Structure formats: structure tokens, C-alpha cells
Structure 1
Amino acid sequence: MFENLTDRLEGVFKKLRGHGVLTEEHIAEAMREVRMALLEADVNYQVAREFVDAVSAKALGREVSQKLSPGQQVIKIVHEELVDLLGGSAEQIRLDGPQPVTIMLAGLQGSGKTTTAGKLAAQLKSKGRKPYLVPADVYRPAAIEQLQVLGSRLDVPVHPSTTDSKPVDICRQALAEAQDKHYDTLIIDTAGRLHIDERLMGELQDIQRAVKLSEILFVADAMTGQDAVTVADTFNKNLEITGIVLTKMEGDARGGAALSIKRVTGKPIKFVGIGEALDALEVFHPDRTASRILGMGDVLTLIEKAEAVVDRQEADRIAKKLKRNEFTLEDFLDQIQQIKKMGSLEQILSMVPGINKLRQLKDAPQPNEKELVKTEAIIRSMTRKERNNHRIIDAGRRQRIAAGSGTSVAEVNRVLKSYSEMLKMLKKMRGKPGAISGMKRRKVPKGMRR
């Protein structure tokens, strides 16, 4: 999402690193470029100006360690200010206090409220909560049906709302039902509009008065940029929202909404949606996002994603097979499945430090989701015997595999060649102490946990 901004900022910092001593003129020139980069990323004009002023004041005041070079000092200040701009620290939703906890999702039509309700229910259920989904959008029958479908997929109960009921009555009935059946979290999906109107706000305020809400989360489409910030500010003035969920963060948006919305509304971004899957909702970490923007990667999130999908026993099994040179195409297929659970290749690579610099190199390999899908199809078209012993795959078998996977013989050959080269690399690694064992699942160091 922040790719263009990252590229622009890295260009600015590269110039700064070329100076042994930074003068006021150097800093002023760099800050002009930073300001332009922020504006091009659709950051609010006032927010961009205040950000640059804060960085300039600290850079000129030398408020950083003298152990750093002048260029590093400015980068450190920019990182600190970005973290502050994005909210400072991660904020979780409130789950303590009287039960059931009630969470209302508000926002314009098409922002992703209904899908977010399902994602939030999935996340809370995985933590041992008992969520109850409440469809309160009676103007769009498909919204009620959509939430029922999501509830069925998640095995989460959904309130039996009907289009002839008033939203406020639905919420009152749902609260009584939750109390009676001991559900501990109500997630209310409200109606949206194409634009803000008094009737919409009045309806949300009626629900707010009728049901004691623990959280009012404003759901915004990050792709709409500054429009999302303006609408969030209006909702906040009418409802006093408690937090923000930014959806479609995996898209091609320039990042202006994420960088502006906290400063304009005063309310934190609590979650970000990073895909359509029901597990594609993440707690928003300002420090990690700032590091991504500056091309420093996000190793902590990468570790957490890996730990969430990698089974320890499975990791130990694979490590032993690697040591014994028994890593088969069957195992290779299993590893592809693990990678897919972590997210798209683009998302995974965006967390790797320095990946932007690598992409700028001539002939640098680019992530290709389609090639991963092809590889999976090719391996699945093999028999179990072929997966466990690739040496028996002769010309005739390759033709059959290509036909079965909808690919060409050349593509089958390419997969087998890549696999063979990987085995050679692993064989070399076996001779290095700790090389293979180091590939096992590691825990996050205690001091790095959040």
C-alpha cells in the first residue's frame, strides 16, 4: 500500500546519507521533498505540514544520539514522528466491564462493515469469546443474508433480523437474547449510505442511546483516501467513535487515510483489513507500519504470522526430513499451503527488511502469485508415488502431469528443476552446523513480544 511513499522517502534519505555534515539547507531541502511525498500519498495538507515542521525542529535541534550519522539521525526522527502520527501504540478493543460487550460498526455503504463484522467475530472466537452477530441493516436485505452466511461459515450465531423491524428494536432484542444465552460479545452491523445524511446519523444515535455500547468502530475504505478521513471526522463529531477499522489495506491506495485519520479525528486505528478471507483482519501496530513505510520491514508481524500457521510438530518433522535428505515434493506442497495461509506473496515480502531496494535492482525477481498456483497444480497432478520420488518422472509422466494441471511440459520441467536445485542447496546447508535446525519454528524473544 505504501510502496510509492516508501520509494520517495528512500530517495530523500539516500541524498541525506551522501552528506558528511547536514546543514540547515540540506534539511530544508529534504523536508520539502518529504512534504511533497506525503501530499502525493494523499495525506491531509495540514497533517503533512505539521509532520514536516516537527521533524525539522528536532533535526535542527539534534535531539538524537550522537552515535548516529547525520542522515541516520533524520531517519530516526522521521520514524519516531511517523509512529506518533499513526497513533503511538497498538490499541485493542475493550472486552472488559459488564458483559455482553457491545460493538457497533458504522460507516458508509461499501466500506466493508458486514465483512468486517464476520472477521471480528472470527478473531474473537479464536480467543475464546462467544460472539453474537446482529444484522441491523434493514434497508439492504442482502446484508442480513450475507451476515447469516458468514455466521454459518464461522459457526457463530446470528440474530434473526427481518427487514420490517426497526434497527433500534433489533439491537434491544439482540442484547436481551445475548444476556439470556450468555453470549459475551455483540457485534452490530449497521446500515450505510452512499453519503452522510441526518436519517442515518439519527438511527445510529438511537441505537447508541438504547444499547450501552462498549465500542463504536468506524469502518473506512482505505482506497478512498482523504474522503475517508473527512467522513470519519463527521461520524466522530456525531457519535464519538472509539476507534477506526481501515479496510482494503492490501490494495493500491496511497496511504493518505492511514497517515491522516488519527491526527484529524483523535481516534486510533484499531484494526486493518488486508484481504477478503475471514482471518484477514489484523491489529494495527503504528511502529510496525512506520517501519514498513521506511523500508525497514516488519519482522515481528512476519514471525507472528508464521507462528500462527506453522505447527510445531510439523516443523520438527520437516526439519528432520531435511537433515536426512528426505524432503519430497509432497512436503514441498505442504510448505506451499503454509505460505498461502500467511497471506499473499506481496504481503509477506513487504515485511522483509530491504525488500524495496532488492526490487529496484535490474532483473530482480518479482512475486508472482500465479506461478505459485501453477506450481501447486502441477504437484497435485502427480501421483503420490511421483511426489515421493521425483526421479521416476520420465517424459511420458511429464506430459500426463502437464495435461492434468493445465500447464505445459516446459512448466513441469521448470518446477522439477527448481525443486532439484533446492535439494542441492539443502544438501550443502547440511554440512553447516545449525543451518537446518535453525529453520525450525522459533519463539519471539521475550523482550520483543507485544
Structure 2
Amino acid sequence: MSSSILKSSSIKSQLIKTAKGTRDMLPDQMFIKDKVLSQIKDIFKLHGAVEIDTPVFERREVFQERYGEANKLVYNLDDQGGELLSMRYDLTVPFARFMATHNIQKIKRFQIGKVYRRDQPNQTSGRYREFYQCDYDMAGQYKPMVADAEVLKVFCQQLKNLDLKFKIKLNDRRLLDYAIIEKALCKQEQFNSICTSLDKLDKEPWESVKEELKLKGLDQDQIMKIKEFIDIQSESSVKTLEQLRYLYPNNKILDEIQLLIRYLEEMDCQENIQLDPSLARGLDYYTGMIFEAVLTGEERNLGIGSIAAGGRYDNLLGYFSKNQSIPSAGGSLGIERIFNILEDRHKKSKSIINNVDVIIGSMGEVESLQLMRLASFLWDNNIKADIIHEKIRFKDQIQQAISKGAKYMIVLGEDELKLNKVLIKNLNEKSQLALDFEKPQIIEFIKKGL
């Protein structure tokens, strides 16, 4: 084989590959995605939330210095016509800009859209460079911990509705601040960097995180005081809170956490939530409650990380809104990871996607025109139908109808049409009858049986 042919083959091979960190979605995957997103929207709307949308790219200054060490993962676009632009890294910062642009002071909103990160992709764990986020936020003034509690309730409902076994780890950024700055006597400018290191504890052992903290300039005493705080662990949030009170008596932040736990108990979602001092979300803009949901059932062995996360961010919206403080709490579903779980379930169940109600087949010499005329009438009456145009054995037509999940098969036969009749087969009951080829009569029969 000549080198030119090999080179041409290599070029074509590269052309048909998707870009790194992206993927095509096949019909089965689109079926799951549409179904899941519809369910998610329904639960958001149960809470009175309204849907918004924002551009997939913004002016670059909107994103600058918003994500701490993750700023390097933002996709910047080449200058086109004078504006420096970046692809959105998440939906939260664009939401803050949206609030300022439209001078909104209070809103309960959700948004579903694609975001972009120059991350190292890992398809198994559901990490892509282009992926969907599903955000829910409550912006505006509420009584202490009311919005925080409802946000957590929403995400409990979402994950339960998707039939996932999960645990939501809960902490407070102010408590981390107290433990790291006030008690461990670390410098304020070290705080975000330390939290970024602690955020790795669900993936790396303590010894690795400890060495990283040493490299960041912490001494042994500081590291041990931080460890004393994050080592407080219990299956019961109430017991964890008691231990924290013993370690940090008369701490007002713990009073607010206690109020939050009481709200969660009243809303019947405390059993899925665990107070965890080691949780440290890596984003700079969190100011209070933070949370992260992880799998706890058999599916935790899939190697998938968090499936939802969020928290309180009281200063971010004010940055864009002329320094007007707009307290906010919210979170995001790790929807791509959830897609992976549900796709795996779908493969095992071998269920049919987008099944139709009726398949139209034929026997003998029947014109496509007649098949299409009948199909059009079914479609106009909101009956899902498909046509078998191929000239294949009748037995194979029946198998094709069953494979598409059809309950009925309408057969236009050459001999039957001469008598103005059609044959209707009930594929579930394995019965059939002949009806006059009168469209209203056929529609009435089909709808009655569906």
C-alpha cells in the first residue's frame, strides 16, 4: 500500500473523530437524556422555579478570577472584532451577570445548558470538556437557612426521583474559615489554596494531602489542627454537631448549622444528608453552606465522582450588581455522570426507546401512497406510527413491529384492499380482526385499545 493512501486514510480517520472531551449522543442516549431532563424540570417547577438561559460565551472579564486555581480551565476564544470572549465554565457566574443586567433582586431559577472546561477528560467517570449542567438557585433575602434547606430538599428530591442511592455531604465554608484561620492560624491568603487541597480528600489519601499542605507552607502544628477538625466524622449529623460544639464551644456558625439540620428533619430529607467537616468545595465564591452528593449503592463502584454539588454564595451577585448584596444559595446536578449511570442501566434492561403505537405493514402489491395516506391520518390524530416500506416477509414485518414496541400492526393487503378492508393485529394479545377501511373507525378502535 502506498504512503499517499496510508496518509489519506489517516486524515479521514482523524476527521471522523470527535474532539477530545466531547461525544456524540446516540438515539438510546438521547432518549434517556430527554426523559431525565423532563423529570428534572418538573421537580424544579414543583418549587415554583422559573427557567432562564444565558449565552454559551461571555465577555472574558465576566469569568476572570472567579474560579481560583480552576481559572486555567476556562476556554478563551480568539479575538474577533475587538471583544475578548470566553466559553462559560459554569452556569453560576453567568447567572450573576444575568441578575445585574436585568436588575433582578429576587428569583428562584433553574437553568439547563452546556458548559466548557479545559479539564482532563475521563469518559468512565463522566468528565468531559463539553457537558450539561442543571442548576437551581434561590437568590434574594430569606430567613436564615431557609433557602439553604430548600436547595438541599430539591436535590434530595431529584436524586430520589432518579432512583439513585446517595448521600449528601454537608459543611459550611465559614466553619472551614474558623478552623483554618482562627484556630490553625493560617494566613487568609492561604485559605482558598488550602481548601483546594482538602477538596482532594475524596480522591486522595490524607498523607498525599498532608504533603501538599506542607509544600504550601503550613507547619506541623497547623496541619494537625486542621486534621483534628476534619477528622470529626459520624453517620449522624446531630452527633457530628455535638463533637464540633465540644471542639469549638460558643460558635454561632454551629447554631445556624443546627437550625439547618432541624429544617432538613422537618422536610424528611435528613436521612440522606451527613454533616462532614472534611468537605471543602474548591470554588472561591462560596460563603456559607456547601454540599456534595455522592453515590452509596452498588453504582458507587462505577468510579463516578460527585453527582450534585453547590452551596451559598452571598457576594458573587453583588460583584456585578453595583455592590448590592444579593444573598444566594444553589447547586448543580452532575447530569453527565447521571446519564452514564442510567445508560448503563438501560443497556442491562434492554428496554425499547421511543416505542410506537402502530406499525403499518403490507402484503402483496400495495402502493406506498396508500401506506403513507393511512400513516398521515394516524399522525394527525396523535397516534405514534411507523411504516415498513421494505418488501420483506410478513413474518419479518411482525418481528420488526415487536422490536419497535408497537401494540398494533395495521396490514394493508392486496386482496383485503379490493374488499375495502384492513387487517389489525393486536401484537400483545396475538389476536386480529378485519375492519372496513374507514379511517375514523380505525382511529376509534386504536385509541380505545391504547
TM-score range, shorter chain: under 0.3
Q: Which structure carries more strand by proportion?
A: 2
Task: Answer with 1 or 2: which has the greater Rg.
Answer: 2
Relative to total residues, which structure has the larger helix share, 1 or 2? 1
